[in-house]
Amino acid sequence: MIRSIIWNGLWKQNSGLIQLLGMCPVLAMTGNVVSAAGIGCATIVVMALSNFAVSLLRIFIPYEIRIPVYILIMASLVTVVDLSMNALVRDLYLVLGIFIPLIVTNCLVLARLEAFASKNPPLLSALDGAMMGLGLTLVLVALGAIREFVGTGMLFAGIEMMIPGAHEIKILPDSYPGFLIAILPPGAFFTLGFLVALRNWIDARSHRRALQKKIAASAGVSTPVTPSTN
Amino acid sequence: MSQENMPSDSIIKISTRTAVILLLFTLAFTTLMAATYKVTKQTIDANTEEDKLKLIGEVLPISAYDNKLLQDAIEIPAMPLLGLDTPSQIYRARRAGKPVAMVLEAVAPDGYSGRIGLLIAVRASGEIAAVRIVQHKETPGLGDYIDIHKDKNKSKPWITQFEGVGLEQVPRAEWKVKKDGGRFDQRAGATISARAVTNAIGRALQFVAENRERIYAAPAHSKLPVAQPAQPRP
């Protein structure tokens, strides 16, 4: 059960690449690695907490008003995260600005409350929330890294807001002119498209390999088989 | 709640029960939010104050004055002309006892995503020394160039075009962005943010022009008597 939750969150049901939920942060906050990781971490915390809270309280929540109650719980927890980040990591908070309150509108959070937390015990729900959030964060960071590198030739710009004293890494020389479209919103769509294709390709390949192995094993002879494309 | 399993539950009873449950949830989570607010308020206020001190340094270099700026403050009531709906402070910079500049807060209420907080330093002679954005929620990468730190044009940031300009150089009626027939630049794609800031600075200059003498003359820590609401201009 635990393994399948982790596997679902990180790969099989990955929110960024398969469910394609939570597109707002995916598209808006992935111009660089640092803000992508920041909004991702905030989402992990909100998802784990709200899944835990809803699961804990699920027997008290009447079926008819479950959605308003879920939204109430989510909104309160987001407010708590918002205030805490403002007090503790202010510089990063200033960068993420409006996108922290927007976690409330992330369908992914509500989807996991309805699909998982309302039917499962608290700890498993918290794990599911954290893993779904982590899956989203990995996609965010990958997108952020690709867009930042292609767009500016650097990585980790603004890292000093998270880790004081750390510096961005310049990979390409200063003469790199930059590739603006990677930083602009369309770049997010293009890069996300490539990532979805890559994930599907990896899945299809492992699928085909497994199938070939099975056929080879059952036939006993290594006749070349071309299975239908997935 | 003892009769909750009785079949005679009427619709009214069921809906009352549901409403009470929803109310209880609301109360519980509002308490949680209020508690977090209380715990974090001090830190957030301290952070904001520290940022403000840093910002004042940006609009008015420390070398420009020799008095204790934060002590030489007066309080003004909520001023609609400045966009403020709470009392605020004006800091007065002096050199050898003579007024050099004042630093005041203003709010542009009509930003693209809500209010934009400004910190404005106005020289005693009436020109803007500098303006900085203290708080905003404008779209990252689009409207946030009003904030000098987000402005991608590092050699000539947008907000610096106001420096050294006062009502004598640009008449009050032309304190608008060019798109509205005024004198000041806006950037393509995000006029609303620029318009809100430009208009707010124009109104602040008007406020300063109407109240300059009284602001500099008022004793420190006093309340500015009646900061008259400006006459609506044709």
Query: Which ipTM did the prediction report?
Result: 0.70
A87 and B33 in contact by Cβ < 8 A?
A: no
pLDDT band at residue A225 under the 50/70/90 scheme: low
pLDDT band at residue B89 under the 50/70/90 scheme: confident
The encoded tokens of residue A42 equal 């905030």
DSSP one-letter string for A60-123 = GS-GGGHHHHHHHHHHHHHHHHHHHHHHHSHHHHHHHGGGTGGGGG-HHHHHHIIIIITTS-HH
B29 and A68 in contact by Cβ < 8 A?
A: no
Give the mean pLDDT of B113-124.
Answer: 91
Of the listed ranges A2-16, A189-203, B2-16, B79-93, the least confidently predicted one is: B2-16
In this complex, the residue of B18, B26, B47 whose CB is nearest that of residue A72 is B26
B22 and A68 in contact by Cβ < 8 A?
A: yes
| Chain A residues closer than 8 Å to B22 by CB | 65, 68-69, 72
Please count the residue pairs, one from chain A and one from chain B, whose beta carbons lie less than 8 angstroms apart.
57
CA distances from B140 to A8, A164, A184, B152 (A): 32, 23, 11, 12
For residue range B169-194, list pLDDT tens digits in order: 999 999 999 999 999 999 888 889 99
A87 and B43 in contact by Cβ < 8 A?
A: yes
pLDDT band at residue B1 under the 50/70/90 scheme: very low
The residue among B70 and A39 whose pLDDT is bigger is A39
Which residue on chain B is closest to A53 by alpha carbon? B29
Predicted local distance difference test score (pLDDT) of residue B160: 92
B22 and A65 in contact by Cβ < 8 A?
A: yes
pLDDT band at residue B10 under the 50/70/90 scheme: confident
- Residues on chain A bordering chain B, Cβ-to-Cβ distance under 8 angstroms: 28, 31, 57, 60-62, 64-65, 68-69, 72-73, 75-76, 79-80, 83-84, 86-88, 90, 95, 97-98, 183-184
Give the mean pLDDT of A81-100.
Answer: 82
CA nearest A17: which of A188, A192, A142? Answer: A192
Element spanning B217, H or E: helix B191-217
Domain count of the fold of chain A: 1
| Chain A residues closer than 8 Å to B18 by CB | 62, 64-65
Distance of CA A124 to the CA centre of its chain: 19
* Residue A208 predicted with pLDDT over 80: yes
| Chain A residues closer than 8 Å to B29 by CB | 72-73, 75-76
In this complex, the residue of B18, B26, B36 whose CB is nearest that of residue A83 is B36
CA nearest A73: which of B196, A204, B141, A81? Answer: A81
The residue among B222 and B94 whose pLDDT is bigger is B94
Tell me if A179 is assigned to some domain: yes
Mean pLDDT score across all residues of chain A: 84
The terminus-to-terminus CA distance of chain A in angstroms comes to 27
Range(s) of the domain holding residue A152? 2-192
Predicted local distance difference test score (pLDDT) of residue B219: 86
Predicted local distance difference test score (pLDDT) of residue A49: 92
pLDDT band at residue B45 under the 50/70/90 scheme: confident
| Chain B residues closer than 8 Å to A87 by CB | 40, 43-44, 47
| Chain B residues closer than 8 Å to A95 by CB | 140
In this complex, the residue of B17, B21, B36 whose CB is nearest that of residue A84 is B36
Handedness of CA B86, B206, B121, A96 (dihedral sign): positive
Give the mean pLDDT of A129-157.
Answer: 88
How many other β-carbons are positioned within 10 Å of the β-carbon of residue B36?
19
Tell me if A203 is assigned to some domain: no
Give the mean pLDDT of B7-26.
Answer: 85
The residue type at A191: T
Give the mean pLDDT of B142-160.
Answer: 86
The residue among A28 and A77 whose pLDDT is bigger is A77
- Residues on chain B bordering chain A, Cβ-to-Cβ distance under 8 angstroms: 17-18, 21-22, 25-26, 29-30, 32-33, 36-37, 40, 43-44, 47, 113, 137, 140-141
Above pLDDT 70, what percent of chain B?
91
DSSP one-letter string for B81-102 = GGT-SS-EEEEEEEETTEEEEE
Tell me if A71 is assigned to some domain: yes
A86 and B29 in contact by Cβ < 8 A?
A: no
Give the mean pLDDT of B156-173.
Answer: 92
Predicted local distance difference test score (pLDDT) of residue B3: 47
Predicted local distance difference test score (pLDDT) of residue B144: 84
| Chain A residues closer than 8 Å to B30 by CB | 76
Predicted local distance difference test score (pLDDT) of residue B234: 47
How many other β-carbons are positioned within 10 Å of the β-carbon of residue A202?
11
Where does residue B184 rank: exposed (0-12), middle (13-18), buried (19+ CB within 10 A)? buried
Domains in chain B: boundaries: 10-59, 62-217
A76 and B32 in contact by Cβ < 8 A?
A: yes
In this complex, the residue of B29, B47, B137 whose CB is nearest that of residue A73 is B29
Predicted local distance difference test score (pLDDT) of residue A186: 86
Give the mean pLDDT of A173-190.
Answer: 80
Element spanning B133, H or E: strand B128-135
